[in-house]
Structure 1
Amino acid sequence: MKIEDLYVKVTYHVGLSDVEVSNQLYEALQHLADHGKVRGDLVHSDKQLDTAIEWLEDNIEESDACDWEYEIENIEN
């Protein structure tokens, strides 16, 4: 059987410990935490969200993952 289109959502979790950050970055990360999930590929008008997402993108890599989740979003034959 051939699959024409397959869309999979992959979520991974990363735990960081003993991370030193500035007060400004801490506030930006807290602001992001207060907003819940925010996609990193979106352009925001919120400077704190941009700061937090930029730091996360620079400091977290897929290889840091400690837990993976896979979800099939769509499959078409």
Structure 2
Amino acid sequence: MMQLSLMRGFAHNLTLFGGLQSAAQYHNLSVGAGQGLGEAGALSLQLLNARDRHQQDPIDGRASAAPVQQRF
């Protein structure tokens, strides 16, 4: 199995990130971005794409997430 993740921060509280997981019969790629909102917290968006070839027919899956972090 191999796993890789990258994150890079930019000006104006913007962060881009991505990751990869790979095994003999499974692959997953994710990319996303996060935006710091100061006292309000942060907002991010992540997109994922996965493929499982464990059985005869490959199974593809996609997901997205948009978590909000609030500061109290």
Larger Rg: 1
Q: Report which of the two has the higher share of helix.
A: 1
TM-score for both structures, normalised by structure 2: 0.24
- Asked which structure has the greater RCO (Cα within 8 Å, sep 6+), the reply is 1
The alignment's TM-score, normalised by the length of structure 1, stands at: 0.23
Relative to total residues, which structure has the larger strand share, 1 or 2? 2
